[in-house]
A and B are shown apart, each in its own frame.
Chain A
Amino acid sequence: MAKRAAIVGVGQTYHKSRRPDVTQVELINEAVKAALDDAQLTIKDIECVLFGNMEECEGSFLTDCWATLGTGAYMKEGCKIYTGGTTGTTAAIAAAQHVASGLFDTVLVAAYEKQDESVYGMEPLGLVPDPLWRRRFRSGAGAASWFARVGTTYMAETGATEEHAAMVRLKADRCACRNPHAHLRLNLTMEAVLKSPFLLYPLRLLYLCPTTSGACALVVASEERAKRMAQKPVWFKDWVIVHYEIEGFEGFFPEGRITSHEQAANILYSRNGITNVRRDIQMAEIYEPATWAELQFSEWFHFAEKGGMWRMVERGATDIEGEFPINPSGGVTCTNPIGCTAMIRVAEAALQIRGDAGEHQVTRDVKTAVATGFGGSFWTEMVLLTKSLD
């Protein structure tokens, strides 16, 4: 029987595009210390350290080895985890699994990306696609063009307009402006959003996630330890990971085939008796690499019925004060240190459950929250967090 695991410490850096004042190791350490402080622990209390980033971004490999200076893994157990865009959720899930296995009572898990270390930003990610099949053409049907397609398809299928994407981007900015850790805090107006140039119609520059340098860390503890030491433990209720057939994807979902997001949501909700998503879950932090994706992904996660998400956006339902807040942190279009981005979703959802999100604390009472990760070749990770251990 697996043991229960709880998040008892949350820490992150102030995310920025450039951090020349710190090395990669020092950047990680900022988040690690913040998480330990939050848990009121020292590194001596930690039994195992897990760690993740997307190595191509920095071109420094075996980071698990030399980042020990920052993670505190010196003479401790642990390993590195790297699953691309989902690295942050995979690492958080791995921490929960390490505790659930019964082998460890306290696990520290950290993730970072220092994107200012690459001269051409995200370009080293060009090494990710299959060399024989896809790598040469990635400038083409790469992420940006896929998210543009999400926009055109979403509008055609649902009757949403361009203004609805602008509303989502404005909401993200309003949230980010209330989150001191967020990277892009722009005080946007509708006019400014609609003036942002199109990268590819209908994807505006402002709709795509930035390149960010930042780190995040969590302390995860066993039930026994969490109850003893944490005032507000946040429990891992469940998690799910779903992969998609990459060759059939290429950014194209055929009719009649469900996406990895839908599959993951179906599994997670049915396993946990979630029948009315917006009632049984009170808020979400999702990995929305582009504004259009927030509309589409939210429907795939069943936050709204098919074609209904833009109506929720229209009436402000996804705002911090709304009936179902989505990304009150500002989300990924405001902050994107890739290998760490998915962990920020978990961290922010945990803070919302604790009621410790500060200025961007949602109005709704949060007992259950969901955090998601998204990987480039389309795979999905979902983490279900709860306030009480039931």
Chain B
Amino acid sequence: MEEKMVFDEPYVAHYQYSVGAVGTKFFTELRDNKKILGMRCPACHLVYFPPRATCHRCLAKLDEWVELSDEGTLITYTVVHYSEPVQPQEPPFAYGLIRLDGADTCICHFLGEVDPESINIGMRVKAVFREKGEGNMLDIRYFKPL
């Protein structure tokens, strides 16, 4: 058989993502005051978390900030049992979709301080903050059961 030629090539590139004015306010409150903010669309009667500058349904510009609870409900979850280089934690670990009290949309985040066997949909959870915030989504380390 003829030798097949393949060439391995890494790709490395550095990016810096603007979180914008709305994102900056959100991350600053999270970082400095451990406060979680959402954004309301008055036309659609929806509170978005994370907050966004525009309602994706009606395209209205939003500026009605809402302070949200750091507690919420687990909408669904999964437990990761395998390992690969891009994963953020060693398995087993759990991800959940969490809807904070007062918000209409969910975010995906880690579940912590919990036995994977005992996680169940509808479970009440609470945010655990990083002691010293850095201004990104991991200022919430994970959500733990109440």
Report A's interface with B, CB cutoff 8 A. Answer: 19-26, 29, 32-33, 36, 42-44, 56, 58-60, 68-70, 72, 74, 114, 116-120, 123-124, 127, 131-132
Contact = CB atoms under 8 A, between A and B. Distances in A.
Contacts of B61: 33
Nearest to B15: A59
Contacts of A59: 13, 15
A22 B59 contact: no
Contacts of B21: 21-22
Contact of B14 (A23, A32, A69, A120): A120
B7 A132 contact: yes
Contact of B59 (A23, A33, A56, A120): A33
Contact of B20 (A22, A74, A119): A22
A116 B11 CA distance: 20
A127 B11 contact: yes
Contacts of B11: 127
Given A22-B20, A26-B22, A74 B56 contact: yes
A328 to B, nearest CB: 30
Contacts of A42: 58-59
Among B13, B18, B57, chain A packs the most CB atoms within 10 A around the CB of B18
A23 B53 CA distance: 9
B41 to A, nearest CB: 12
Given A33-B54, A68-B56, A69-B52, 9 more contacts: A22-B18, A26-B54, A36-B59, A42-B58, A60-B17, A116-B16, A117-B15, A117-B17, A118-B16
Given A20-B18, A29-B53, A69-B54, A43 B9 contact: no
**What are the 9 tightest A-B residue pairs by CB atom distance, in nearest-first order?**
A119-B14, A23-B20, A69-B56, A59-B15, A22-B20, A43-B59, A124-B13, A26-B53, A20-B18
A21 B20 contact: yes
Nearest to A28: B54
Given A23-B23, A29-B59, A118 B7 contact: no
Contacts of B52: 25, 69
17 contacts: A22-B18, A22-B20, A22-B21, A23-B23, A26-B53, A29-B59, A33-B59, A33-B61, A56-B13, A58-B17, A59-B13, A60-B15, A69-B56, A119-B16, A120-B14, A123-B13, A132-B7
A355 to B, nearest CB: 28
Contact of B15 (A25, A29, A118, A131): A118
A116 B59 CA distance: 25
A78 to B, nearest CB: 14
